[in-house]
Amino acid sequence: MNKSEEHRFGGTYFVFSFILFILVLGYTASVLYINAFDDTIIWISLLFAAFVFTVGAAWIWTLKTKIASIVKAVDDMVDRAIHGQATASDYVETNLSSLENKLIRYIDLSTTHERKLEAEKNKIKALISDISHQTKTPLSNIMLYSQLLRENPKLDEEAGQLADSVNAQSEKLNWLIQSLIKMSRLETGIISIHQTPKPVIRTISEAVSQIYDLSKQQGIGITIDCNRKIAAVHDLKWTSEALFNILENAVKYSGPGGKIHISAEAYEMFARVDISDTGIGIEEGELNLIFKRFYRCKRTAEYEGVGIGLFLAREIVALQGGYIKVSSKVGEGSVFSVYLPAASGQM
């Protein structure tokens, strides 16, 4: 029981005591007045008042002690349960004993559930590690052999194209496996994110550097407008990956000659990073669906992809206490706004 609750209980005792005192005093005075302050009546009234006061005080003290005892017993039960100590006791037909046994059953069920979740998490972790380890070497060998095969001067043009296709599909498969592994690690809490105050421009630059070559090949220009003093509390590595996933979609769905503009603004509680493009846009009815796992818009069927990038971006940002908003017009482009917790002071 905290101090405020104790004060409220004390106030209740005082009110009851005061009401009892007024009632007894009023009753005694009335009796004395009616009987013209007879000496015998005075002594009887005083004895009666003393008796009532004594019984009332004893009752209030007993009630206070009983309530304090019950509260302490409940507090001890919860405290023992929190520290994992045995709290079982013989069941007797009292409300307190019933509460204790229900609490014990609840704690046991919760503990068992937590252990099962931890065991499942460890199994998933081991499975992810096995998948990552078992697929890494074969895929690397396939890509290496296809490259070596392509460099063979005796290879005819058709065989060379097949070797290029094998290499391209191997790279896509490797990307898909790595994305699925990252997604599983995020969902199971295996990945630990370390947030520290950092300039947002560093994270944006890291993300742009990963997509720059592809955007150049597509003839898509990228511009950045970000004050170097704008800072946010975030994990540089994972946040840059989230921004990269958004940028990758922007490049993919913007035609040759398209433009991508990245800007940042600082607010009291958040730092906002806007990524706008001149791509195909998103229909209004799909704006709430694009962050779902494996979801792909109807108008993107002709483009390569599996619908993981935006899901990963949202999960990464959400784990850091941020969120993503999107606005779009079909045929004109989209704007993805990433909100990250603001640093206490600009850097």
| pLDDT for residue 2 | 47
Amino acid, res. 14: F
Q: What is the pLDDT of residues 307-330, one digit of tens each?
A: 788 988 998 999 899 999 999 999
Q: What is the pLDDT of residues 171-198, one digit of tens each?
A: 777 777 777 777 776 766 666 788 999 9
| pTM flag (> 0.75) | no
Instruction: Please check whether residue 324 is in contact with residue 336, taking contact to mean a CB–CB distance below 8 angstroms.
Output: yes
Which residues of the chain fall short of a pLDDT of 50? 1-2, 91
| pLDDT for residue 8 | 58
Enter the tokens of residue 193. 């994110």
40 contact partners, CB below 8 Å, separation of at least 6: none
Partners of 274 in beta bridges: 263, 337
Domain boundaries, the chain: 3-87, 115-188, 196-341
142 contact partners, CB below 8 Å, separation of at least 6: 166, 167, 170
| pLDDT for residue 232 | 95
Q: Is the dihedral of CA 158, 160, 165, 166 positive or negative?
A: positive
Q: What is the pLDDT of residues 260-291, one digit of tens each?
A: 999 999 998 999 999 999 999 999 888 888 98
| pLDDT for residue 233 | 95
| pLDDT for residue 173 | 78
Rounded Cα distance between 119 and 113, Å, is 10
Partners of 3 in beta bridges: none
N-terminal to C-terminal alpha carbon distance within the chain: 44
What's the CATH superfamily of 196-341?
Histidine kinase-like ATPase, C-terminal domain (3.30.565.10)
The 8-class DSSP code of residue 342 comes to B
